């Protein structure tokens, strides 16, 4: 006998909101699924009138974009939610930020006024800290990498090991003239702008590529932070604010 | 100077841990940062507790006992409590290489820096994980080698009712409810510190022992008879009690913990707002250690339960409510409670579950309340014994008609899947008793199809091996050897498979009998078993509750080595029946149960006669209330309206 979903009253979505959140400090070790669970609980704690899908197991209407990998910090992750009553984005931002554990922070919110938000997230700007690697050494390695037209790397995906190019998506790479922490000069910092593609080229893939072209093996794990996502800037050295159009 | 010496006591070592986390699986479990976690400044307190659930974070983090004690201690101005969990072998290896000690997840301090290290044992299979944690913390594994610089290691939880197998590794064991005991222990440590630590470490341990708050094994001598049995257990100091009594928390309404449940980032085994609706159980199931050692029944009232849920949901955002106890449908106000809660949370995507429901206490109204919001959590019933005879032996007074009526109700109310839990290896059991499980399951499906009006229903039978436990009428019983257990389960499986009409609707889950033998050894062992635990741990035993990490062969070879000079072996501890006069390793631990009563109940079991529940029939003289000065605390209160919910701020325009 086929089961039919129980008939329930579901209030329709009347408004969509776009949120920007950060994943900081030790909570960078949370996975995307960890964030999802935490966020759905935060919606309940913050009393957000979230819309639900219909069906056997209704789930809150939340869509997630390009989640940063586990272990990677981020200042710019994006989600979109649907609510059943019109809400004030500032109050939503504050209430959700309060309801999430420190380290998962809602940093911006706008009412969604424009279509095709996902397409606006063209590229990511990354910061990679290399403890124990000198500025000069990294500069040489990065130069060698950028000189290549293509650097093939391998990654284990759901469908098995896949080989792809980690070079062409990197539109900008520069070793910065600053120390990560004062008094710790042996920590080179790499700024990257990477265009979103399929498969997505992640910082890990770039690191694999640096190893491939110049045998760079950092002595301790590289600390990675996504600084921004958005439309690629005309000069190719950064990204713009994806909420600009919604703010009008 | 080693890395460890250079650390400041109580300082965060997170940067050292952080460097290892990218190389391990599920790093989130080691970083803490849970909603409602508490981090107090080290210097602001005098008495510091590290508390551990000795299993992986995903199992340990939801544990109610640890969460309760964590809050109770942290509410004290002079004390702090932080949590630590078992480290998986991948990180353990890296930590040993890098010299990083066992740490707490709250402020990432080294466990060795704390004054007290408390471990909560729900199961004996956590013993090897305790040794890993103690050793990783830089604390000597054997208590006798510890100095004033090392934390006092304290065991608690149900397994601590027989602390003898771990007597060499712990400094003390708290018997029974922990809430008041941790307060008393904190007070004793504070006093000892204020007084300038008189008598050093032993001075503190002696004050703990003489106060009666906990059992301190070092102040008791065990002697043995030539045949290996215990001759006697005697205190070595005139001021320590001959027997150490369990703690019993009275008036659960006065202790509404946890008030702010921890909400982990990592995925864990239970993600729900759990409220203990009562503690204790007097149904009198003879195999059930929990039911014997937690007497008497103490209910929390409908009002307190509702307040705890409302507050807890606000603070956690959970969307499932779990009403916990040893047999939740037995609460005197369960009908009012489930109806009122279902009313309150209707349309709120919040579901209600009763993780432990007796067959005879379940009814259609309760079934409807539980399914009102559309979500159906699974239904599990535990008839425990397949045959009527077996259920008389174990005093599980549930008839086949009860069971069939109950599951028919559930299937009729829309459930499509029911789980039934049984045991194999019970005293006096024969193959025939176990084969009755198949007959019962067949009848469940037959009646269920009729009630549901469809063939599309299933029943899963889940079978656990029976392990005789201390402080139960079966403490004298022989455990069934694993070969016979496995053979019986095979026959049962064949009987189900051979059933053309119903077999396909019946699933069967079971474990082989070998892990049960190790658990049996640890459950009823004495101090000599400590050597086996140590040897197994040296041989690599970790996470023994996880089948992928457990090795029966490792334990058996460890036992052979460790017990080589003794007149006893694994069979002696497990498959041997004890006589009434034998001194049992836990006889000096007072659970309140009268040993005469236990023996008579054991004889009644063999005679297949039942005993009543003192909530509804006259007192059966188990001895607990007299011995402990306690009494049954049950409702109903007559209240059906819930207290007003907390008003939450709005985010709407």
The mean pLDDT of B138-167, rounded to a whole number, is 98
- Are the folds of A15-119 and A122-230 the same? yes
CA dihedral B177, B181, B183, B184 (to 10 degrees): 160
Report helix, strand and coil shares of chain B as percent, to nearest 5: 40, 15, 45
Read off the pLDDT of residues B458-471 as tens digits, 9 standing for 90 and up.
999 999 999 999 99
Q: Which residues contact B564 (CB under 8 A, 6 or more apart)?
A: none
What length is written for chain A?
A: 248
pLDDT digits (tens, 9 = 90+) for A12-67: 999 999 999 999 999 999 999 999 999 999 999 999 999 998 877 788 999 999 99
Element (H, E) at B531: helix B529-538
Closest approach of A207 to chain B, Cα-based (Å): 14
Of B245, B263, B298, the position where a domain reaches its end is B245
Let me know whether B107 and B156 are in one domain. yes
Beta bridge partners of B49: B81, B116
**Residue that wins the pLDDT comparison between B5 and B190:** B190
For B431, the 3-state DSSP assignment is helix
At residue B419, does pLDDT exceed 60? yes
> What is the predicted pLDDT for the residue at B252?
97
- Chains A and B: how many Cβ contacts under 8 Å? 96
Is residue B434 located within the same domain as residue B374?
yes
Angstroms from A60 CA to nearest CA on chain B: 10
Please name the helix (run of DSSP H) or strand (run of DSSP E) that holds residue B128, with its range, or none: helix B127-136
Helix (H/G/I), strand (E/B), else coil: B589: strand
Residues of A in contact with B651 (CB under 8 A): 46-49, 87-88, 91-92, 95
Domain that holds residue B174: 4-245
Residue of chain A whose Cα is closest to the Cα of B27: A29
Residues 6+ apart with CB under 8 A from B607: none
Could you tell me the CATH number of the domain that includes residue B48? Answer: 3.40.50.280
Domain shared by B226 and B297, yes or no = no
| Distance (Å) from the alpha carbon of A41 to chain B's nearest alpha carbon | 4
One DSSP character per residue, A138-176 reads HHHHHHHHHH-S--EEEEEETTEEEEEESSTTEEEEEEE
Architecture of domain A122-230: 2-Layer Sandwich (3.30)
CA closest to A104 among chain B residues: B33
- CA dist B509 and B126 (Å) reads 23
* ipTM attached to this prediction: 0.90
**Which one, of B123, B226, B248, B241, lies nearest residue B177 by Cα?**
B248
Asked, for residue B430, whether it belongs to a domain, the answer is yes
Picking from A5-14, B181-190, B586-595, which range would have the lowest pLDDT averaged per residue?
A5-14
Alpha helix positions (H), B6-46: 14-18
Cβ–Cβ of A44/B313 closer than 8 Å? yes
Of B33, B35, B456, the CB nearest to A26: B33
Average pLDDT of the segment spanning B93-111? 98
What is the pLDDT at residue A181? 63
Is the residue at B582 inside a domain?
Answer: no
- Cβ pair B415, B444 in contact under 8 A: no
B304 and B380 housed in the same domain: yes
Decide if A184 touches B, using CB distance below 8 A: no
B237 and B285 within one domain: no
CA nearest A44 in B: which residue? B317
Q: What is the CATH number of the domain that holds B366?
A: 3.80.30.20
Q: How confident is the model at residue B2 (pLDDT cuts 50, 70, 90)?
A: very low
Verify that B333 and B196 share a domain, yes or no: no
List residues of B whose CB lies inside 8 A of any A CB.
Answer: 14, 18-19, 21-23, 27-28, 30-35, 263, 265-267, 271, 313-319, 347, 349, 374-375, 454, 456, 648-653
Asked if the structure places residue B531 within a domain, the reply is no
Cβ contact (<8 Å) for B263 and A71? Answer: no
Which residues in chain B have their CB less than 8 angstroms from residue A38's CB?
35, 263, 265
Q: In Å, how far is B316's CA from the nearest CA of chain A?
A: 7
Q: Which of B21, B454, B653 sits opposite A88 (nearest CB)?
A: B653
∠ Cα B639 B641 B647 (to 5°): 135
Please give the CATH number for the structural domain made up of A15-119: 3.30.70.580
Q: What is the separation, in whole angstroms, between the first and last Cα of chain A?
A: 52
Q: Do B33 and A47 touch (CB under 8 A)?
A: no
**CB proximity A48 to B under 8 Å:** yes
Indicate whether B128 and B221 sit together in one domain: yes
The answer, for A59 touching chain B at a CB cutoff of 8 Å, is no
* Domain total of chain B: 2
Question: Could you tell me what percent of chain B has a pLDDT over 70?
Answer: 97
| Residue B373 scores a pLDDT above 70 | no
Chain-centroid distance of CA B553 in Å reads 26
User: Any CB–CB contact under 8 A between A225 and chain B?
Assistant: no
Among B245, B264, B290, the domain boundary falls at B245
Residue B118 lies in a domain: yes
Q: Do B317 and A99 contact (CB within 8 A), yes or no?
A: yes
> Strand B273-276's sheet: what is its strand order?
B273-276, B320-324, B351-353
Asked if residue B558 has pLDDT above 80, the reply is: yes
Q: Is the torsion defined by CA of B119, B125, B128, B132 positive or negative?
A: negative
> Does the distance separating the beta carbons of A71 and B21 come in below 8 Å?
yes
Residues B313 and B190 in one domain: no
Domain residue extents for chain A: 15-119, 122-230
**pLDDT averaged over 10-residue windows placed end to end, chain A, 248 residues:** 54 95 96 95 94 84 93 97 96 96 96 93 96 93 96 90 95 84 77 94 96 93 96 92 92
Residue-by-residue DSSP string for B303-320: HHHHHHHHHHHHHH--SE
Position B553 in a domain: no
- Give the gap in angstroms from C-alpha B255 to the nearest C-alpha of chain A: 24
- Helix/strand/coil for B263: strand
Q: What is the pLDDT of residues B34-80, one digit of tens each?
A: 999 999 999 999 999 999 999 999 999 999 999 999 999 999 999 99
- Checking if the pLDDT of B171 tops 70, the result is yes
d(Cα B283, Cα B280) in Å, to the nearest integer?
Answer: 10
The reply to whether B333 falls in a domain is yes
Bridge-based pairing of strands B379-384 and B417-424 is parallel
Q: Could you tell me if B608 and B480 lie in one domain?
A: yes
**Partner-chain contact A47 B27, CB within 8 Å:** no
B254 belongs to a structural domain? no
CB–CB contact B317 A57 (8 Å): no
The residue ranges of DSSP E strands in B432-553, in sequence order, are 458-465, 506-510
Share of chain B above pLDDT 90, in %: 85
């Amino acid at each position: 006998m086929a089961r039919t979903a129980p008939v329930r009253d579901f209030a329709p979505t009347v408004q969509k909101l776009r949120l920007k959140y950060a994943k900081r400090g030790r909570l960078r070790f949370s996975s995307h699924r960890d964030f999802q669970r935490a966020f759905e609980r935060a919606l309940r704690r913050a009393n957000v009138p979230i819309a639900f899908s219909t069906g056997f197991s209704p789930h809150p209407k939340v869509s997630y974009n390009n989640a940063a990998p586990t272990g990677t910090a981020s200042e710019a992750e994006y989600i979109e939610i649907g609510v059943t009553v019109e809400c004030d984005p500032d109050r939503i931002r504050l209430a959700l930020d309060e309801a999430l554990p420190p380290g998962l922070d809602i940093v911006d919110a706008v009412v969604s006024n424009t279509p095709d938000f996902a397409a606006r997230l063209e590229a990511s700007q990354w910061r990679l800290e290399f403890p124990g690697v000198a500025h000069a050494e990294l500069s040489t390695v990065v130069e060698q990498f950028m000189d290549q037209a293509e650097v093939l790397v391998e990654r284990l995906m759901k469908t098995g090991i896949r080989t792809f190019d980690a070079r062409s998506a990197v539109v900008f790479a520069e070793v910065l003239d600053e120390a990560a922490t004062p008094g710790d000069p042996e920590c080179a910092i790499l700024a990257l702008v990477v265009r979103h593609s399929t498969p997505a080229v992640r910082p890990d893939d770039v690191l694999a590529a640096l190893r491939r072209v110049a045998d760079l093996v950092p002595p301790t794990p590289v600390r990675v932070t996504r600084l921004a996502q958005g439309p690629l800037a005309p000069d190719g050295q950064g990204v713009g604010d994806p909420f600009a159009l919604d703010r009008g | 100077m080693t890395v460890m010496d250079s650390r400041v006591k109580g300082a965060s070592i997170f940067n050292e841990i952080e460097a290892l986390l990218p190389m391990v699986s599920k790093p989130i479990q080691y970083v803490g940062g849970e909603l409602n976690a508490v981090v107090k400044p080290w210097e602001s307190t005098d008495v510091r507790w590290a508390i551990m659930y000795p299993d992986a974070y995903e199992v340990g983090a939801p544990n109610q006992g640890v969460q309760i004690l964590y809050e109770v201690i942290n509410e004290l101005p002079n004390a702090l409590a932080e949590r630590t969990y078992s480290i998986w072998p991948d990180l353990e290896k890296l930590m040993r290489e890098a010299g990083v000690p066992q740490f707490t997840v709250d402020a990432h301090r080294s466990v060795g820096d704390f004054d007290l290290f408390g471990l909560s044992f729900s199961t004996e299979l956590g013993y090897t994980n305790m040794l890993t944690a103690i050793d990783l913390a830089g604390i000597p594994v054997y208590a006798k080698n510890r100095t004033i610089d090392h934390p006092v290691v304290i065991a608690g939880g149900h397994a601590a009712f027989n602390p003898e197998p771990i007597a060499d590794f712990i400094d003390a064991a708290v018997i029974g409810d922990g809430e008041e005991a941790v307060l008393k222990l904190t007070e004793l440590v504070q006093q000892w510190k204020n007084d300038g630590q008189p008598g050093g470490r032993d001075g503190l341990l002696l004050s703990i022992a003489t106060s009666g708050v906990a059992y301190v094994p070092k102040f008791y001598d065990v002697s043995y008879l030539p045949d290996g049995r215990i001759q006697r257990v005697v205190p070595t100091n005139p001021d320590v009690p001959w027997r150490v009594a369990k703690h019993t928390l009275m008036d659960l309404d006065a202790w509404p913990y946890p008030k702010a449940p921890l909400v982990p980032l990592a995925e864990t085994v239970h993600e729900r707002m759990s409220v203990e609706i009562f503690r204790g159980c007097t149904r009198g199931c003879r195999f059930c250690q929990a039911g014997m050692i937690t007497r008497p029944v103490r209910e929390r009232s409908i009002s307190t339960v509702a307040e705890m849920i409302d507050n807890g949901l606000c603070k956690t955002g959970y969307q499932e409510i779990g009403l916990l106890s040893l047999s939740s449908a037995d609460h005197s106000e369960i009908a009012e409670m489930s109806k009122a809660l279902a009313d309150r949370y209707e349309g709120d995507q919040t579901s209600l579950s009763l993780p432990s429901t007796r067959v005879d206490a379940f009814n259609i109204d309760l079934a409807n309340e539980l399914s009102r919001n559309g979500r159906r959590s699974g239904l599990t019933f535990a008839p425990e014994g397949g045959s009527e005879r077996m259920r008389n032996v174990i005093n599980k007074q549930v008839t086949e008609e009860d069971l069939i009526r109950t599951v028919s109700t559930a299937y009729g109310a829309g459930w499509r899947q029911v789980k039934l839990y049984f045991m194999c290896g019970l005293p006096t059991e024969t193959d025939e008793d176990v084969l009755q499980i198949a007959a019962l399951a067949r009848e469940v499906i037959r009646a269920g199809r009729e009630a549901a009006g469809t063939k599309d229903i299933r029943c899963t039978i889940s079978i656990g091996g029976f392990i005789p436990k201390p402080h139960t009428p079966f403490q004298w019983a022989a455990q069934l050897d694993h070969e016979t257990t496995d053979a019986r389960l095979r026959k049962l499986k064949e009987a189900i498979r051979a059933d053309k009409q119903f077999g396909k609707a019946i699933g069967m889950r079971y474990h082989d009998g070998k892990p049960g033998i190790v658990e049996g050894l640890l459950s009823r062992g004495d101090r000599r078993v400590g050597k086996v635990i140590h040897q197994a741990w040296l041989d690599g035993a970790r996470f023994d509750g996880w089948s992928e990490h457990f090795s029966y062969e490792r334990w058996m070879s460890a036992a052979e080595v460790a017990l080589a000079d003794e007149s006893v072996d694994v069979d002696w501890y497990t498959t041997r029946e004890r006589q009434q006069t034998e001194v049992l390793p836990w006889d000096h631990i007072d659970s309140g149960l009268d040993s005469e009563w236990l023996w008579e109940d054991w004889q009644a079991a063999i005679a297949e006669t039942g005993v009543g529940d003192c909530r509804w029939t006259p007192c059966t003289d188990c001895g607990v209330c007299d011995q402990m000065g306690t009494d049954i605390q049950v409702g109903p209160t007559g209240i059906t309206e819930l207290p007003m919910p907390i008003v939450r701020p709005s985010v709407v325009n």
